[in-house]
Structure 1
Amino acid sequence: MKRFFIILLIFLITMNIAIVKTSYKDDIKYVSKDKIVFVPLDTRPVSLQNVEILAKAGGKELLVPPIDALDDYKKKSNQDMIYDWLKGSVTRPDVSAVIISTNQFISGGLIASRNYLNDMSYKEGIERLKEIMSLSNGKRLVLISIMPQVAPVLYQQDTKYVQNSTNIEYYNEVKKAISENDAEMLNKLKSRMPSYLFNYMYVIASEVLINEEIASNLKPNVTLTIGLDDTTMKSMLKYSYDDLKSTIKGYKNIYMLHGADEISMMTVAKILNEEKSFRPTYKIVYEENGDENSYLSYEGGTVREITEEKIDYVGGTESDNAKNIIYIHMHKNNKTGIKNVVSKYKISGQNFGVADVAKTNGGDKDLVEQIFKDKLIKLIDAYSGWNTPSNSIGTVVAELSIKSYIDAKKDKKDLEERQKYYYAFTFIRYADDYIYQSIVRDAMQSWANSNGINQDNIENKDEADAALKQKMKPYLDTLMFVYADCGIKIKGADVEYPWNRMFEVKVAPILD
């Protein structure tokens, strides 16, 4: 009997430790409408794990298709499985809203959508989508459609399209042939164009046609959100985006945004705000005069345009006396100092977020190290330096929206539960954007080169994960110490590569 109680005690203690990992299970728990059906853009942490954690901070559980139905790097998703799963999931009585990536649903994921050779024609995918819209039966349904960059062609096209009318003619001809299902004309165009250029034109023209048709078939409860992936002002992708914008002008319930990876997080924030009639307020602080009119790398709009459209998307408004301050950090050698900036702008009761866009694919090391040194973790409520400026800015907008929502909670137990997941999210941002992207990634690439490993096609992932854990550990230990020094307990953090490449990592914090 004594042994039984010892085992029971160990079990209960173990149950009190939560590890922030995604289960992707579809447990039937008809308690309240606290679930969101979610078909992600792809299976990267930024598109899936991190969205789930931020949703939990907002009090929502994501219902996700079985993991073996979803994409995995260059492996397309099983679109039939996702379709069948959705038909049963959107009708559940405990579901309040539905979010569907059309790239995943129609093309098999973001990477798959960059290649015109798809198993399912987009028209069949749209017919299936119409059925899901009908089955949603008035629930909030957000379709997220990303117009993808078709690397490496984007960079070859940037300086050409405004000078070369031939490219625009190709685009219009390909678009017309696809819309008319004219295989003969497509083959003629293919024979006249370099293969990379044909793929490029086919993809961007298809995306325009897909979104035009979806836009014309929306129901009152459905929102179409169109994201513009990595681009520049002179790319053919930007040209096709503007073409789409002019075509669907006048349709209701449509948003067109710059960015991609961050839009799912913003959509969760948007749904929470709409359900509770909550309107978060924001004040935008630019680092230097004129920053708001800058065009940054990989973007087709100014910093002001990008930031304001994202605030509007989540249902927020701008105000000088806002609850949330979003600070756009653009200059690596800024002399003001983040501590002085926080002291100048943040007052009691406000949330302060830093969109770190001084560089792409990683945070500004000097900035983050100053945050740690001055113990600003608790004063800086949101941070992101992920990938492109749109990604970073949109992530911070979503974070601050969720933080405002959490701050309004009165129940202490509920508040603590939400904060647990929120701080897990902020921990991941520093671990990924600063530790990995700005420090360890270079070390891992050197390790890969010295061992004859292709960093974009890792054959022995276990070996790479072991090296990654070793190189990340001292930095993660320091980050956990910084959090503990600010009163936030993180017991540990697991880390691995989510895909067989070294572009990003998956960080899973372990919480009390």
Structure 2
Amino acid sequence: MFTWAQRKLVTAFFLSLLLGTLTWEDPVLAAERILYIPLDDRPVNLAYTVDTFKKAGIDVVTPPTELLSSSSHKGDPDALGKWLQEEGPFAEAAVVAADSLIYGGLTTSRTHELSEAVLNERVNVLLDFKARHADIPLYAFATIMRSPKWSSAPQEPQYYAQWGPKLFLWGALRDKKDMGPLSRKEEKELGALQKEIPLSIQNDLLQRRQKNAAVLARLYDAAEAGTFDYFLIARDDSAPYSEAHFDARRLLQDRKKSYTIRSFSGTDEMGMILLTRAYYKARGLTPIVYGFYAPGAGKDTVPDYEDGTIAHSYKEHVWALGGYPAKRAKRADLVAGIYTPQDGVTRGADQAANTDVVTSGITAFLDQSEAFLRAGYAVGIADIAFGNGSSRGLVKGLFERRLPHSAEPMAYDLASYAGWNTASNSLGYTLGQGLMARQMTSQKRKELLTVRYLDDWAYEALVRQHLRAEYTYPNKWQEGKFTPKEKEILHTALQKEMKETAFPYLGQRVDGYTYDLPWNRTFEVSVVKKTLK
């Protein structure tokens, strides 16, 4: 039985024969039609991800944006389920963020007041899709409720505004105790937290986590039964000791090992990862990836917001996108350079340690990257030395170098680059965009690189701090709730600062984009290419 895309390809083939237009140099290949339900409408989940595959000639179809979670409204799970069923017969594959279909989005997965009965009904919608469309590969991912270290309301229940750090420590100590005995000091600290944190808050948080765990268990059972062609359990903002780590251990214990079910740190890159998997699996290909690290702690680095080493995360991401993590670079489809901090401690990109100095460690890392480029390899760089933004010294080094006979800096010889948010976020984008770059023109690949340098380096590592220091902090403007006047002031300042900051490296490319704060907060930026009028 042919799938929709296969029928489309056969039709195009015979039509081309009739018209006499089929040639080996310009084969007729129908673009796959992949359904994609993202976590929400943030650029990293929606626009940037979809644009990557569009540039590679893949038709990624997404729901109407009004159905997705945004800064102004919750997602509509029931409407999303209906959309998925209606579009199913016309798809080659489907990539689904289960949190959107069940809770309405990532944020509402933490703040909802839904009953277990409603959650079970929505799980059934996803399972029913596969029952109705058995011939369509279904790639799904769901998140373990995160364990933030900070007071992050309204992205969490409101009590996090007061109790966030103490709730994290309470969960970390409980997780550690579940794995072995605590020290006397830790036992005393845990006891004090048990008494200090109101019982109503403890119960509410544990009930929320229990609901999330129950949903994940049902999805895991379905994955083991073959409902999903691949199922990822994302560990959003975790730590070696945390509630998220505790939930992951409990979910995975006593489960049989499966090559179609995986769980590791990360979240917002999962759409990119599974769409890449869908692309390569449709062709029966297994991309080979070789990874190397910067001098120092390298592969043993445990990044902030994560509960394992970067080496473990790297391998898990490669497996998840359908690839093979090779021990040697020979025949690699992508060489992934992972820029880790010398001491293995990932700091914030807004900290004083993030300077424009091209250190000896950066030089050694760039030397190795350049050697692979000179040897003809496709090279992607995951810039993870700092969280929530690029290493300024590394980006400076990339733009200062130029390969022989190259018209542009080495920064534009890369297959991919990413240095945003968490280490796994950057890793997933580096791998996904790096492997899809093989299917793009040089110009389209460079456009993806430009967006990453503008977002990860110019905005996250530099401009964001300026906006906060000059406007939001001194004026006490509330993140996520900027007034129209505040938004206008920030928008004007954003255009000016992005151009002034990025021009020395990116030149006239900067003028080809507009910039916005899509979620009415300074945490993320939207980099949008201007359209010709």
**TM interval, short-chain normalised:** 0.7 to 0.9
Shift of 1:464: 2.6
Compute the displacement of 1:162 (Å).
Answer: 6.0
Q: Which residue of 1 aligns with 2:497?
A: 471
Per the alignment, in what secondary structure is the counterpart of residue 216 of structure 1?
A: helix
Check the 8 A contact 1:490/1:511 in 2, yes or no. Answer: no
**Cα distance between partner residues in 1 of 2:263 and 2:278:** 17
Counterparts in 2 of 1:362-377, with a 5 A limit?
A: 362-374=389-401, 375-377=409-411
Return the offset for 1:82: 1.1
Deviation at 1:132, TM superposition (A): 1.6
Contact 1:231–1:237 under 8 Å retained in 2: yes
CA distance change for structure 1 residues 237 and 451 in 2, over 3 Å: closer, same or farther?
A: same
Task: Provide the rounded CA distance (Å) in 2 between the counterparts of 1:155 and 1:270.
Answer: 37
Provide the rounded CA distance (Å) in 2 between the counterparts of 1:353 and 1:198: 45
2:111 and 2:377 map into 1 onto residues whose CA distance is 45
Change (3 A) 1:250 1:330: closer
Per-residue Cα deviation, 1:241-290 (whole angstroms, up to 9, x for no partner): 11111154345621212100111111111111111122222221111244
Normalization by structure 2: what TM-score?
0.77
Q: 1:402 maps to what in 2? A: 436
Query: Counterpart in 1 of 2:132?
Result: 135
Unmatched 5+ stretches in structure 1: 1-30, 170-191, 407-414
Task: Report the AA paired with residue 378 of structure 1.
Answer: Y
Relative to structure 1, is the Cα distance of residues 245 and 510 closer, same or farther in structure 2, using a 3 angstrom cutoff?
same
Aligned match of 2:68: 70
Q: More displaced, 332-341 or 54-63?
A: 332-341
Residues 205-243 of structure 1 show CA distances to partners (whole Å, capped at 9, x for unaligned) of: 222211211222243553211100111111011110111
Q: In 2, Cα distance between the equivalents of 1:251 and 1:257?
A: 14
Aligned residue pairs, count: 442
* Deviation string, structure 1 residues 392-446 (Cα, Å, up to 9, x no partner): 1121111222124x2xxxxxxxx53xx4443222211111110001111011112
Alignment-mate amino acid for residue 498 of structure 1: P
Q: 1:343 aligns with which of 357, 370, 374?
A: 370
Partner in structure 1 of residue 385 of structure 2: 358
Kept after mapping to 1: 8 A contact 2:140/2:228: no
Q: Which moved more, 1:239-248 or 1:46-55?
A: 239-248
Structure 1 residue 494: Cα displacement: 1.2
Tell me the distance in 2 between the aligned counterparts of 1:56 and 1:439.
29
Measured at CA, do residues 478 and 134 of structure 1 come closer, stay the same or move farther in structure 2, by a change above 3 Å?
farther
After superposing the two structures, state which structure 1 stretch, 462-471 or 121-130, moved more.
462-471
What corresponds to 2:98 in structure 1?
102
Identity %: 21
Q: What amino acid sits opposite 2:267 in the alignment? A: A
CA displacement, residues 39-81 of structure 1 (integer Å, 9 cap, x when unaligned): 1011110010011011113321221111111111263112222
Paired residues of 2:333 and 2:435 also in contact (CA < 8 A): no
Relative contact order (C-alpha < 8 Å, sep 6+): which is higher? Answer: 1
The reply to whether residue 156 of structure 1 matches residue 180 of structure 2 is no
Matches within 5 A, 1:52-451: 52-73=50-71, 75-92=73-90, 95-118=91-114, 121-151=118-148, 152=151, 155-161=165-171, 163-164=173-174, 194-218=199-223, 219=226, 222-250=229-257, 253-317=260-324, 318-320=326-328, 321=330, 322-331=332-341, 334-336=359-361, 337=363, 338-374=365-401, 375-404=409-438, 406=439, 415-416=440-441, 419-446=442-469, 447-451=471-475
1:499 is aligned to 2:519? yes
CA distance in 2 between partners of 1:33 and 1:371 (Å)? 34
Deviation at 1:452, TM superposition (A): 4.3
Give deviations 1:286-339, integer Å, cap 9, x for gaps. 112442122121111111100111111112221411232211112267414154
In the alignment, the residues of structure 1 paired with residue 50 and residue 256 of structure 2 have an alpha-carbon distance, to the nearest angstrom, of 33
C-alpha distance 319-490 of structure 1, shift in aligned 2 (>3 A): farther
Q: Cα RMSD between the aligned structures? A: 2.7
